[in-house]
Every structure is written in C-alpha cells, then in structure tokens.
Amino acid sequence: MRQPILELRNIFKAFPGVTALDNVNFDVHGGEVHVLLGENGAGKSTLIKIIAGTEKKDNGDFIFEQKAIEKPTPFLMREMGISVIHQELSLVRLMDVKSNLFLGRDLKKKNWLLSKFGIRDDAGMVSRCKQVFAELGINLDPNKSVMELTLSQMQLVEIAKAVAFDSKVILMDEPTSSLGPEEKDQLFRVIERLKGRKIGIVYVSHILEDCMAIGDKISVLRDGQLVANIDANDAEIDTLIKLMTGRTFQERYPKISGIIGDTILEVQNFNKEGVFENINFSIKKGEIIGFAGLVGARRTDLLRAVFGLEEINAGKVFINSKEVKLTKPRDAIRLGLTFLTEDRKNQGIFPLLTVLENLLISRFNFRNKSEKLWLTNNIGYINISNAYKISDEYVQKLGVKVSSLADKISQLSGGNQQKVLLARGLSTHASVLILD
C-alpha cells in the first residue's frame, strides 16, 4: 500500500470560545492533488497553518515521511519540503525574478574567497531559474522585475520557488481566485507537471468546478469537522454544496422576489485616460447589477472611481437624481455608498485593531439621527456599550465566527475577516453596496 508523504491524525485546535478543528484526519500522497473544501470559518485556514507550522495544534499527530514531528515550525517545515503559496502572494516586488526564487538561499560563487564575502552567483541563479522554468513549462525572464509580472506569472514564480528547493508538498490557497481562463489553464498545466514529479498538492478553493477538474481527492470540512473524503471522479457539485453547508444549492440561495424602486445611483460618461472610457450605468433600489470581465478589464478601477478612491478625467455621478461630487471615500459614505475591496489584506482590514474597531471604523465620524443606539455624540465621545451592541448585532446577522469582539481581526480566518468588512459597510446604513 502506498504511504502518504504527509499524515495528520486526530488534529484538534481550539481558540477561546471556538473549536477550529475537531479531531481531523488528513493525508497527502505524492503525485496527488488533495482538494480541501469548506465554507468560511470551516477550519481550512487553521489546518493549512498547522501544516505550514505557523499555528500550533492542541492535540493530534503530525507525521511527515513516516516520522512524527513534535513541534512543527515554519523554518522546519520549509527545510523538510513543505511550501505554501498564499492567496496574498509573498514575492518582493522591488526585486527581480531570480532574486525572489532564491530569497534567503542565494547561490554563492564557487570561489571560496568570493563565497566567504557573500558574493552571489548571479549566472548560476539564472541558469537554475531557466532549468526550473523549463521543467514546469514556464516562459519567464529570470532578470525581469517582479513589478512587471502579471498576477498569474507571480503565482508561477511562487510555484517555481517551491520546486527549486525540492518541495515534496505544496499548499495552494485559492490559486485561481484572480485568474482569467487562459491563466487558469496554464496553472493547471503546471500542476499536472508537479504531479508528474510526485509532488503532493493541497489545493484550497471555493470554485467547485476547478476542484473537480484538477483534484484527485476531495476532503470537506464543516464547522471544524471532516464530514467527507471522496474521490474527485465521484463528486457532484450539488453533493459538495450539501456537504459544505448542510443544505442544497436551492435552499442556500433561494430566489427572493423584491420590489424594484426608483433609480438611486447613476453614472454618466465616466472617463479615466488609458483606463476606461465613456462608462454609463444606473442602478435602482432593490436591484443587483454585475460587472463581468477578464482580469485586467479595469472593473476594479471603475468601482474605485465611483467611490471616490480614484480620480477621473470626466464624468458625473447622480444619487437620487441629484448630482454629487465624490472626490474621496468620506463623501461617498456620507451619501450612502459603501465599498468592499477585493484586496482585503492591504486595503480592507486594520490588522492591529480589534474586530469591533474594524467593524465600526467607518461609523465613528458619522451620526445617523434616526438610530435608536447612538455611537458617537457631537464632541466625539464613543458609547462603548452601544458599540458592542451594534457590533454584536452584525456579527450575529452575518455569522462571523469570533470568540470576542475584542480579539484582533488578524486572528480571524480570511472568510470571517471578509464578513467583518461587509458588516462595516452595512453598519453605515448604506443604500448602495459596491462589492468588488
């Protein structure tokens, strides 16, 4: 019987008031893509962190290549051959490709004197880069600056970085979330090559079609428990949804008939030179409008401009048929708009602040006279009791999994951080939600 490279047995992890993982079993074989599925807060992020050594397990066995690992650390895991490709990529943008590939492990000149003084072997690094790229079918210049790369190319550099140092297991967190169809196909081709090298892949994604296309085995977490471990060939989308949520797709997203009201937001002749041109659209109360387009189609730039985050060369905005000037986000918030960024880590959360502070930060300078619970008075005093009541209301409504509102938001999973950002927008009583 083929032995797994990585085995996790009865892994238990709890945070104050929350059981993140409840006796979970998980393994990875060489040449296999093991998909990890689950809703926000199901425990996926915690399991990945434990494998990567950035989170300590409370109980259970961690076995790598038939050896028990008592105290996994990020350094130890990397040295043993476990690499992580995070959703928020970790490349140094001011450096070139080869320098990122060998970051912390620069090849030194073979001449003992030059090596003693830390002189890099740039030619050797370029040669090794080209070798790895050729093995993976990647066409990139090792001397090119990372700032000049597309997002998909950056992901490929991360994968090459793992391969360059003989990784045996690669963890991929939402690798296709920002990729277009062609870029996704290229990534899948690279993953197939990794399988051919007998590298084990842990693949985390919410895109079920991708999981079924690239996966060999699928494990489903729900509320910290492993509820299924199935062959990807036997998986069906409806079955996976029910395993993840406990409900069918129709039960989870029922059609709701609403009343469409008057036009609440209208954008006319929006122009930003070299970015978008002559954009017109309007939205009515109770209506949902979707903006579709491939990566690089400038959807984000348009939405940021509407919210006052980016300047435009020409165009008008009307709210409730009245022309308004939105030169900064404060103006937009006061007029009933809210914006949920696609870049949660860098533009959304304040990692050093608490869940409560992150949720209410857009409210502290605004006062809604119709509210029963006031948050700030005219001199800026914050009513802490009401702040907790308001925050708790939104945490309950959106199902945010958090042990305390006083916890740092950085302690939450990515999905729960996203829920807090949505709650931030809703707490301002916005009449238009801009969701990027």
Q: What is the domain-level CATH number for residue 330?
A: 3.40.50.300
Q: Please report whether residue 266 resides in a domain.
A: yes
Same domain, residue pair 382 and 270? no
Return the pLDDT at 113: 45
Return the pLDDT at 135: 83
Instruction: Please state, in angstroms and as integers, the Cα–Cα distance from residue 94 to each residue in 90, 148, 151, 152, 375, following that order.
Output: 12, 10, 15, 17, 43
Identify the domain boundary among 202, 227, 252. 252
Total number of domains constituting the chain: 3
Higher pLDDT, 345 or 398: 398
On the question of pLDDT at 111 being above 70, the answer is: no
Identify the band that residue 158 occupies on the pLDDT scale cut at 50, 70 and 90.
confident
On the question of pLDDT at 197 being above 60, the answer is: yes
**Helices 181-196 and 122-136 sit at what angle, rounded to 10 degrees?**
100
- CA 336 from chain centre, in angstroms, equals 27
Average pLDDT over residues 328-338: 90
Beta bridge partners of 204: 36, 173
Q: Please report whether residue 37 resides in a domain.
A: yes
Same domain, residue pair 142 and 31? yes
The percent of residues above 70 in pLDDT, for the chain, comes to 90
Same domain, residue pair 434 and 390? yes
Same domain, residue pair 243 and 289? no
On the question of pLDDT at 351 being above 60, the answer is: yes
Question: Which of 148-162, 350-364, 390-404, 412-426 is the least confident region?
Answer: 148-162
Average pLDDT over residues 134-152: 86
Same domain, residue pair 180 and 239? yes
Judge contact between 403 and 15, C-beta under 8 A. Answer: yes
Question: Which of 268-272, 350-354, 370-374 is the least confident region?
Answer: 370-374
Same domain, residue pair 76 and 201? yes
Identify the domain boundary among 252, 279, 300. 252
Identify the band that residue 40 occupies on the pLDDT scale cut at 50, 70 and 90.
confident
Identify the domain boundary among 219, 252, 285. 252
Q: Please report whether residue 133 resides in a domain.
A: yes
Same domain, residue pair 406 and 265? no
Same domain, residue pair 156 and 289? no
> Best-predicted range by mean pLDDT among 51-65, 84-98, 234-248, 254-268?
51-65
Same domain, residue pair 370 and 396? yes
> What is the domain extent for residue 234?
6-252
Question: Which of 99-113, 122-136, 298-312 is the least confident region?
Answer: 99-113
Same domain, residue pair 33 and 177? yes
Return the pLDDT at 24: 95
What is the dihedral angle through the alpha carbons of 251, 252, 258, 262, rounded to the nearest 10 degrees? -170
- CA 89 from chain centre, in angstroms, equals 10
Return the pLDDT at 377: 61
Tokens 């900064």 sit at which residue? Answer: 328
Q: Please report whether residue 1 resides in a domain.
A: no
pLDDT digit string (tens) for 245-294? 887 766 666 777 778 889 999 999 999 988 898 999 999 999 999 988 87
Q: Please report whether residue 314 resides in a domain.
A: yes
Same domain, residue pair 229 and 375? no
Q: How far is the C-alpha of 169 from the C-alpha of 202, rounded, in Å?
A: 7
Return the pLDDT at 251: 65
Same domain, residue pair 118 and 197? yes
